[in-house]
Amino acid sequence: MEARETLINLKNLSIDLINSDVDSDSVKNIIDEIHNYFREVTEISGYCSDVKNMVTLPATNGMALSINHAAQCLLDYKRTYKFLKGFIKAIEDKQKKYPNETIQIFYAGCGPYAPFVTLVAPLFTPQEVQFSLLEINKNSLEKAEALIENLKLTDYIRACYLADATTFHLDQPKSYHILFSETLDALLYRECYVSILWNLVPQLSPEVTVIPENVKVDLFFKEKSKETFKTTIFDVKKEVAFSELHLSFPEQFESVRVDLTQADKYDRIVLATEVQVYKELLLERNESSLTLTLEMEIEKPIVNKAVLFTYHTKPNMELKFTLEK
């Protein structure tokens, strides 16, 4: 297929995708068709058993997924659909707010398909949007660059960086309108979203929109199938607001204490990750790998007064709990 024809086709697929109903078969069908094309060009399917495609990379703070896993993210259908929809809406909102400006996007962690360039750029002109891409995985960045070239989208690219977003110093940080970084997993486990925001947000203008806008881990008590919200264990936006230029990344964040003295009537504790993609657009529970819940049984009789949850960043980024006697 000619490059121009491919691009028109991709643009149409993108438009059809965002106009589809989230629960319709067309979301899966369209993304599968896009994946087939990306797979052909990059020779990365996400399922190749070659060891070099399965290696995770340590960042200064957190871990980066293997190129296989990064490619597979495209096929997390509702995630891709909602991020695409939210991201396009964010660009359109910025265009309304800054009508005479080129909207500058910093994309931290593009993976081998850079879907939030390759599916988004064709909907705009290079005068309307410019992307700066950053990726820690050399192989991923090279594949993304090859795909962008194949799709004739290079006019939309301001810069490409092979670097760790948890320590990277932005060039002209105040020029950006949007920071996009889907570098997270359920319960904020291992990946770098928190540390990337901790590093980049203080460098950027306070007007910048971050996509996803926020991620929270909430705790519910469950009695049979009825859930009662108890508290938020970790709120990324709230924590990142404490970050300042040159302030090092904390080894752990402040613990949240959950009282258990009145918890007898409940059977389970549920930890749920809420991903606010953009404004009212949320990734609902269990509709993506990012929002899988964790349930823990409450053992009776309850002998502990409370449970303390702490988000640790060393040696790994993960939520841990301890019981209080």
Ligand X SMILES: C[S@@+](CC[C@H](N)C(=O)[O-])C[C@H]1O[C@@H](n2cnc3c(N)ncnc32)[C@H](O)[C@@H]1O
Count, residues near ligand X per rule CB under 6 A = 24
323: helix, coil or strand? strand
Q: Using CB under 6 A, which of 132, 137, 209, 291 touches ligand X?
A: 137
HSE at residue 30, side-chain half, CA atoms within 13 A, is 25
Tokens of 112: 């081998």
168 or 266: whose CB is closer to ligand X? 168
Binding to ligand X (CB under 6 A) within 146-175 occurs at 164-166
Output Rg (C-alpha) for the chain, integer angstroms: 21
* Nearest residue to the partner ligand X, using Cβ: 109
For residue 101, give every residue at least 6 positions away whose Cβ sits within 8 Å of its Cβ, in sequence order, or none: 177
Q: How far is the CB of 143 from ligand X (least distance, A)?
A: 10
Contact in structure between 122 and 18 (CB atoms under 8 Å): no
Strands 281-283 and 157-162: unpaired
Which two tokens mark 28?
């899966």
Site for ligand X contains 140 (CB under 6 A)? yes
225: number of Cβ within 10 Å: 6
203 DSSP β-pair partners: none
CB of 55 to ligand X, least distance (A): 10
217/232 Cα distance (integer angstroms): 6
**Candidate ranges 19-27, 135-143, 170-178, 222-230; the one touching ligand X (CB under 6 A):** 135-143
In the complex, what is the shortest distance from the CB of residue 108 to ligand X, in angstroms, rounded to a whole number? 6
Q: Report the DSSP beta bridge partners of residue 297.
A: 268
CB of 135 to ligand X, least distance (A): 5
Site string for ligand X, 184-213 (x = CB under 6 A): --------x---x-----------------
* Least distance between ligand X and beta carbon 69 (Å): 7
CB nearer ligand X, residue 136 or residue 179: 136
Going by C-beta distance under 8 Å and a sequence separation of 6 or more, which residues neighbour residue 244?
202
Q: What are 182's two structure tokens?
A: 């889907």
Site for ligand X, residues 56 to 85, rule: CB under 6 A: 59, 64-65, 70, 73-74
127 touches 143 (CB < 8 A)? no
Residue 130 C-beta: closest distance to ligand X, Å: 17
Minimum Å gap between C-beta 131 and ligand X is 12
| Contact string (CB under 6 A) for ligand X, positions 99-128, x = contact | ---------xxxx---xx------------
Binding site for ligand X (CB under 6 A): 59, 64-65, 70, 73-74, 108-111, 115-116, 134-137, 140, 164-166, 182-183, 192, 196
